[in-house]
Chains A and B, each alone.
Chain A
Amino acid sequence: MTKAGFVVANLFRKRTRTILTLLSVVMAFLLFGLLQSVNSIFSSGANFVGATRLFVQARVSFTQALPISMLPKLEAIPGVAAVAHEMWFGGVWQENTPLIMLSLDPRTYHEVYPEWVMPDAQWQAFIQTRTGMIAGKLLADQYGWKIGQKIPISSNIWPQKNGSKAWIFDLVGIFDGKDEDWKRRANIAFIQQDYFDESNQFGIKGRVNFYILKLSDSSKAEGVSKSVDAMFENSPDETKTQTEKDFNMSFVKQIGDIGLIVRWILFAVFFTLLLVVSNTMAQSVRERVPELAVLKTLGFTDRSVLGFVLAEAFALVLFGGLLGLLLASIAGAMVERGTGGQFQLRLDGGVWLLGVVAIVLMSLAVGLLPALRARRLKIVDALAGR
């Protein structure tokens, strides 16, 4: 037996009570893990710092298009190294699975987004194949797409010239992200803007939802943003230029304050948990007063008795908390696999760290008072039953 063994043995003094308390802790931390992951999905979108690129959109909304004629003007701005452009295609796979699909110029896009990794031969194929399409690895894996296949995509917004809403593309490449962060974003597909321009029914040509500027000097981001917006002020195509990071952040903010909701829920949950576990610890110490007194008679100091009680609280919350976080991890991974990487709910290091901090704080909160009581108790009074 060891001191640790003694602590654990005491935990299971009243087995039912310990197990029920443990389960309450597990539930609380399960919720904590899941909700914090949801929260970090939303805020990670905002915190994700790509290389400093600038997003240029129509001032009013990115759903409003800008004309392609702006391209040479943007390229001419000092500080701009390269300009890519994207248009939202809005494709649908099979019956009703919406895809994130953009039409663009492959050459310029490749230059502005070096984070997408794909063999050179496939980039060339994309550039040269009018009807070509490249897809991110997550997307290709989920739907079983292979290079060389013809992929039928329907579009809600753009019918073809022949009136049909079905478009067929040749999958000529599959790309992946250069690191973990980018790999998680490889759930999009790209097609050629030129092909789109010739084939759509409305004769829409040269529509751009976003211009993406690669800067020659990222410290000049603010200056270049201002120049762009100044250039098109008072024209029918007023622009709003911001860094990629700010764009992501503003998007998330539009959804609402998810963080606030999560914090409120977790507050309610942990407040209740605090009560539950405090109650258990207090009861446990209360019924053991004579035993604690005997420990002191054996020569254990007041401080070591305090230590035993604190350790007990810590063991309880630690075990339950880790189990809860683990369950959240598993559940999150299942959700992630089930939605093909759309909902990246698996717990990352940040959430685990936060969880451990929560475990430590909760242990202290529930263990401190009973531990102090245990430290204070006088042998003589306790043994006499006072």
Chain B
Amino acid sequence: MSESMVEVRNVTKVYERGTQRVEVLHGLNLDIPKSDFVALMGPSGSGKTTLLNLIGGLDQPTSGEVRVGGSRIDQLGRGELARWRAHNIGFVFQFYNLMPVLSAEANVELPLLLTKLGAAQRRKNVAVALEIVGLADRAKHKPRELSGGQEQRVAIARALVSDPQLLVCDEPTGDLDRKTAEEILGLLQVLNREHGKTIIMVTHDPKAAEFARRILHLEKGQLLEQAA
């Protein structure tokens, strides 16, 4: 395999909710090489979303190191982290992905507003992204005019449009029916195999996990790899 995309070293995350102190991750270690496709599974409250947030730069660990694409993101300030996310990560969530007031192509264009690209170039990139996910013909539709599966495709297109190396997906098929879920997962596989994207996917569905190359189980803050 190739070099590391994600290196997590001895990471602990503690939440303070009022007077309570909850330690969700204790001294976790993880390595994800480039072009890997990892499914992260675990019971509710096991901390898988927390781990995903740390890797995606949405949150900071209480202690430990998180290295993504060679950068120590646990040392970045909020503003720097935002800029880093814009260039390096694409997110796909279970809900709330798209802005309801924008069309599909405008949604995909959003991340590009953070770049210095001109309008024409942006439109080209958007078209390419929509083409990859197979939704070129729905570009002008608003989210409420799209099915659940189509919305997720648009979300994926948006995640791709600035060409990040790492895709972070939190239960991307959690809200979809079986058939549509399989289409989305198939798309993720294509992105991984043909476009070389590294993908980390949190899921509670074992069938969905099978689309990945590796399955990791997170239990009580510890990671265990499942036999393939």
Q: Do A and B come from one complex?
A: yes
> A-side interface residues toward B, CB under 8 Å?
1-3, 5-6, 9-10, 12-13, 290-291, 293-303, 379-380, 383-384
- Separation of A291 and B84 alpha carbons in the complex (Å): 20
Q: With a CB–CB cut-off of 8 A, which chain B residues contact A298?
A: 85-86, 91, 110-111, 114, 158
Task: Kindly state whether residue B228 has any CB partner on chain A within 8 Å.
Answer: no
Contact A10 B101 (CB under 8 A): yes
Contact A1 B106 (CB under 8 A): yes
Contact residue among A1, A13, A290, A380 (Cβ-Cβ distance under 8 Å from B96): A290
Task: Kindly state whether residue B22 has any CB partner on chain A within 8 Å.
Answer: no
> Would you give the shortest CB distance from B52 to chain A, in whole angstroms?
10
Q: With a CB–CB cut-off of 8 A, which chain B residues contact A295?
A: 110
Contact residue among A1, A2, A294, A380 (Cβ-Cβ distance under 8 Å from B53): A380
Task: Kindly state whether residue B18 has any CB partner on chain A within 8 Å.
Answer: no
Q: With a CB–CB cut-off of 8 A, which chain A residues contact B93?
A: 294, 383
Contact residue among A290, A300, A302 (Cβ-Cβ distance under 8 Å from B114): A300
Shortest Cβ-Cβ A-B pairs, 3 listed? A299-B86, A290-B96, A9-B101
> Would you give the shortest CB distance from B91 to chain A, in whole angstroms?
5
Interface size class of B (residues with CB under 8 A): 20 to 34
> Would you give the shortest CB distance from A303 to chain B, in whole angstroms?
8
- Separation of A6 and B110 alpha carbons in the complex (Å): 9
Contact A1 B102 (CB under 8 A): yes
CB-CB under 8 A for A301 and B83, given A12-B101, A380-B58: yes
- Separation of A297 and B86 alpha carbons in the complex (Å): 8
Contact B58 A297 (CB under 8 A): yes
- Separation of A384 and B84 alpha carbons in the complex (Å): 22
- Separation of A295 and B95 alpha carbons in the complex (Å): 14
Report the nearest B residue to A9, measured CB to CB. Answer: B101
Contact B85 A297 (CB under 8 A): yes
Contact with A along B81-109 (1 / 0, CB 8 A): 01111110001010111011110001001
CB-CB under 8 A for A302 and B79, given A6-B110, A380-B58, A380-B59: yes
Report the nearest B residue to A3, measured CB to CB. Answer: B113
Report the nearest A residue to B170, measured CB to CB. Answer: A383
Q: With a CB–CB cut-off of 8 A, which chain A residues contact B56?
A: 297
24 CB contacts below 8 A, A to B, read A1-B109, A3-B113, A6-B106, A6-B113, A12-B101, A13-B100, A290-B96, A291-B100, A297-B56, A298-B85, A298-B91, A298-B114, A298-B158, A299-B82, A299-B83, A299-B84, A299-B85, A299-B87, A300-B82, A300-B86, A301-B79, A302-B82, A303-B79, A380-B59
